[in-house]
Chains A and B, each alone.
Chain A
Amino acid sequence: MKNRTLALILALAMMAGMLAGCGNSSNDATGGGDSIIVGISDDATAMDPLSINDTNTMSILSNIYEPLVRVNNKNEIIPGLAEKWSVSDDGLEYTFTIRKGVKFHNGEDVTLEDVKWSIEAQVASSYTGPYISCVDHVEIVDDSNIKIVLSYPYAPFLTLCGTYTYVMKESFYGEGGNMAQQPIGCGPYEFVSWAANDKIVLKAYPDYFGGAAKITNLTFKIISNQTSAAISLEAGDIDMYLNVAETDVATLKSNSNIVVDEKPSSAFYYLGLNTEDEILSNEKVRQAIAKAIDRDSMVVGVLDGYAQATRSFIPEGLPGYKADFDPLPYHVDDAKALLAEAGYPNGLDLVITVPESRSAHAQMVQADLKKIGINLTINMRETGAFWDDLENGEYQIMMMGWSYVVMDNDVGYYSLYQSKEVVSGNYPRLNDARVDELLQKGRESSDPAERDAIYGEMEEIVMTSGAYIPLYWRYSIIAYNSKIQNVTNSPCGFYFVYDYSWAA
């Protein structure tokens, strides 16, 4: 018996030794040097720019592929594959001068034919096409210039070029190519490997035209559980996490080796009221609902305060922004009066349709509306079914989020307000001739003062109609090792690792 006990103790000691031994190899993140591990909560959908359009994937691909121009952290347009560009006076023709001698990661030359083909392919793609449908055709002018001709003047076009003009080669899509899994671009990082739902490994492309990236090895590590990711960041398994949960902010902030950066993102959340619904077609009812919503309580109650309540879809800094904009201020008694005026002095029954993830929001709305006598039933739907309901107009009130892919009013909400096509965003079925007119003017104008007036007027009309009830701007919260330099919290969710470096 004694021998056995001894053996057991020895075995345990060995196991402990093994655990300790593993410890040495556990920290993959270097905490400096030439590697960085960036944690993200969702995997990329594909590596091919022609078959993706989600922000997360586009952000990853921005490190592999090179667009004609890039948009920097200050929302300025800077050269990409094009070293310079000019715009015709009528705003219809954009001429780009393409850098010479640029090569793809596999050593092949980037030609003007490649540029032309790539842009045409992105216009034709069902994924990216909707964002750059303004492009009419692409011409090769001479041996270094390429001209993109638009079918109508479109102010945000250059900004959009930062995302939808990645340059590839047609032959990469031919036989033997597998762009969805093994991409080839000419951006600062080249592809190494992708283990689905685990990690994406890239390495600096030594011949990048702007000089090789300061950080050589770039790994995106997929950690869907946000708290696990926060622990991994603290433990040094990863160097950065882009999707920090509100509940983890306080813990991470107390760690002096970690920087937490939180600020309003470009994603806004709102209630949409179906204007074709029998009850909600009455503007007064919609306005009463809008005046009954207590956004500040929602931000505190549902999001721990990590959101910015808003009365408008125009963020600070964009044309049309007014700091004190509030056409339908929160006022319970006024809301009740409006409801009575609309013919419902004794209240009424309504239904809110939300996807599962927004049940807490729906409960807040339910409580708010209870105060003005509206008995709100919550109809929770699976995401796909939720969208079906919106498209078919089978809802009364819904809650959803929308975001600016690039910081421009037109890109932000043209498809929400236009009355031509319901299914690409205008689920409340807002139909206002003046709004349509202003939308058209706004996208064609490149004069800031004029756009300011246009979008200011439009926002007034839309937000008074009560078809859209803005709730808040979601925060983008990122956290990273304090030794990483030049990181900016990107409101649109684009992280260009080429800019980063480790402090000495």
Chain B
Amino acid sequence: MHKFILKRILMMIPVLLGISVIIYTIISLTPGNPGRLILGERASAEAVEAMNESLGYYDPLPVKYFNYMKNLLRGDLGTSWRSGVSVIESIGERFPTTLLLATMDIVLTAVMSIPLGVLVAVKKESLLDNIMTVVALVFTAMPSFWLGMLMMLVFALSLNLLPATGSESFAHFILPALTMSLLSVAQIMRMTRSSMLEVIRQDYIRTARAKGVSEQKIIWRHAVRNALLPVITTMGNNFGWTLGGSVITETVFGMSGIGTLLLTAVRSKDVPLVMGCVLFMSFTFSVVTLLVDISYGIIDPRIKAEYGGRKG
């Protein structure tokens, strides 16, 4: 198991390196003049040139990339071209918002979709099954900005229960997290359902039934635990994505997370900030994927046994 984790961690290095090359090249090759964007349309040509010079904008691409990576390896992600604030600081400031939002999203999704998925699997092809499928699909089909607005109109404006925008308190996170999770409920619920149906057909379930184990115990103890594996993979991946910031939800609810940070950075062609955000997102995504893989072993004893075997 340790060997596996170590191998996976080492694998992250070429992945991140590859991403850094691609992103740096793309953002450097896109047209646009950072000095002009920073100084504004009335600045003189000399001032713009001096600004570009000080940013190292005129250096050849390989030189720029090499300098960037040299600093990166020293742990220096640079400072934003636009605000002059350290990139690490900006990310650090925004990450708690994104982390809380992603966590609430995943928890709400799990709480809503897994029990429902199990329920509709047990009551396969019942009226409930059909209704839930339709409801879930309706939510999935909604664009997130639209659902977000709708939630705001209902919960913030009409009922005046929750704040519409911002990220100051826990209450501010409820609507955006709910919006995000409603959009993924269908996916997770359907996945739980089909995975459950597959497991329920297995021999060991039949054996359990034959032994006279209660239906409750069969479902929750034997079936669900085995059926959760693909569900966890998907939810893990979703979590990795949302940790990279959910641009639309953050924008609609006026939250300042990683998503909006990246969006502003891209718009102002702020190379160090874009690079920092993208590398950070890739890093968290890799870590989350790794954690998901590790969690397999904990949930499914068969996988743990396999690794144990390899070790010996």
Contacts and interface: CB of A to CB of B under 8 A. Distances in A.
A388 B31 CA distance: 8
Interface string A225-238: 10111011011111
Contacts of B254: 221-225, 228-229, 232
Contact of A237 (B42, B165, B252, B267): B165
B269 A197 contact: no
A431 interface: no
B252 A195 contact: no
Given A196-B93, A198-B255, A224-B254, 13 more contacts: A19-B161, A22-B171, A26-B161, A224-B251, A225-B252, A228-B149, A231-B164, A232-B166, A235-B152, A237-B166, A383-B37, A384-B37, A391-B33
Contact of B32 (A20, A223, A225, A388): A388
A225 B252 CA distance: 6
Interface stretch (A207-215, A298-306, A421-429, A440-448): A421-429
A385 interface: yes
Nearest to A51: B84
A43 interface: yes
Given A126-B50, A222-B256, A229-B254, A387 B161 contact: no
B47 A126 contact: yes
Interface of B: 30-34, 36-37, 39-45, 47-48, 50-51, 82-85, 90, 93-94, 145, 148-149, 152-153, 156-157, 159-171, 174, 216, 251-256, 260-261, 264, 267, 269
A231 B149 contact: yes
Contacts of B83: 45-46, 180, 196
Contacts of A317: none
B33 A20 contact: no
A387 B30 CA distance: 13
B162 A19 contact: yes
A27 interface: yes
28 contacts: A19-B162, A19-B174, A22-B170, A26-B162, A45-B83, A126-B39, A127-B43, A130-B42, A131-B42, A196-B256, A196-B261, A198-B166, A199-B166, A224-B260, A228-B165, A231-B152, A231-B157, A235-B163, A235-B164, A237-B166, A384-B34, A387-B36, A387-B41, A388-B36, A391-B33, A391-B45, A402-B41, A424-B41
A54 interface: yes
A224 B260 CA distance: 9
A53 interface: yes
B264 A43 contact: yes
Which 3 A-B residue pairs are closest in the complex by CB-CB distance? A384-B32, A385-B31, A22-B171
A25 B166 CA distance: 13
Interface in A31-60: 43, 45-46, 51, 53-54
Contacts of B37: 383-384, 387
Contacts of B156: 26, 231-232, 235, 237
A415 B44 CA distance: 10
Contact of A28 (B41, B47, B153, B163): B163
Contacts of A45: 82-83
Interface residues of A, number: 56
A232 B167 CA distance: 13
A380 B84 CA distance: 30
B53 to A, nearest CB: 12
B260 A384 contact: no
B149 A227 contact: yes
A383 B32 contact: yes
A351 B174 CA distance: 48
B22 to A, nearest CB: 18
Contacts of B165: 221, 223, 225, 228-229, 231-232, 237-238
A257 B11 CA distance: 59
B149 A196 contact: no
A382 interface: yes
A181 interface: yes
A21 B251 CA distance: 26
A198 B160 contact: no
A154 to B, nearest CB: 16
Nearest to B216: A1
Nearest to A29: B163
B39 A53 contact: yes
Given A19-B161, A22-B170, A198-B166, A415 B42 contact: yes
Contacts of B41: 387, 402, 424-425
A221 B255 CA distance: 10
Interface in A399-416: 402, 415
Contacts of B166: 28, 198-199, 221, 223, 232, 237
